[in-house]
């Protein structure tokens, strides 16, 4: 599965047999539980956070800046990413996907900051 927007395309990795070897010998149940958690996080991203992020990108690309609500959103996303990092670290098949997502967040934040600085 993949999601696409005009400037952004990410292919999700397929579940692979032998994931327990990737998770450092974790049991299959632990591995399955972790993959379930990852899929839930990806679903939340695609249904809730990506649409919001694309709205922010559109606004900052037109010279807009973040509102207080936008800053709270980005802060919450950052905290959630930090909490999810150990889980993702154990599943290298998701690294490329997550790197592209992080890059998009960074791009939007940097553009908003540049717009803010240009207004001063």
pTM of the model: 0.75
∠80-59-46 over CA atoms, to 5°?
A: 40
Q: What confidence score (pLDDT) does residue 17 get?
A: 39
Mean pLDDT to the nearest integer, 64-78 = 97
Q: What confidence score (pLDDT) does residue 28 get?
A: 61
pLDDT band per the 50, 70, 90 thresholds, residue 6: very low
Cα–Cα distance, 45 to 100 (Å, whole number): 13
Q: What confidence score (pLDDT) does residue 11 get?
A: 57
């Amino acid at each position: 599965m993949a999601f696409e927007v005009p400037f952004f395309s990410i292919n999700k990795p397929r579940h692979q047999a032998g994931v327990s070897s990737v998770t450092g010998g974790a049991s299959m149940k632990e591995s399955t539980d972790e993959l379930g958690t990852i899929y839930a996080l990806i679903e939340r991203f695609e249904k809730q956070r990506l649409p919001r992020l694309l709205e922010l990108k559109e606004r900052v690309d037109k010279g807009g800046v973040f509102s207080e609500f936008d800053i709270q959103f980005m802060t919450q996303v950052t905290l959630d990413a930090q909490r999810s990092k150990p889980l993702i670290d154990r599943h290298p098949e998701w690294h490329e996907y997550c790197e592209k997502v992080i890059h998009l967040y960074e791009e939007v934040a940097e553009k908003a900051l540049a717009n803010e600085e240009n207004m001063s």
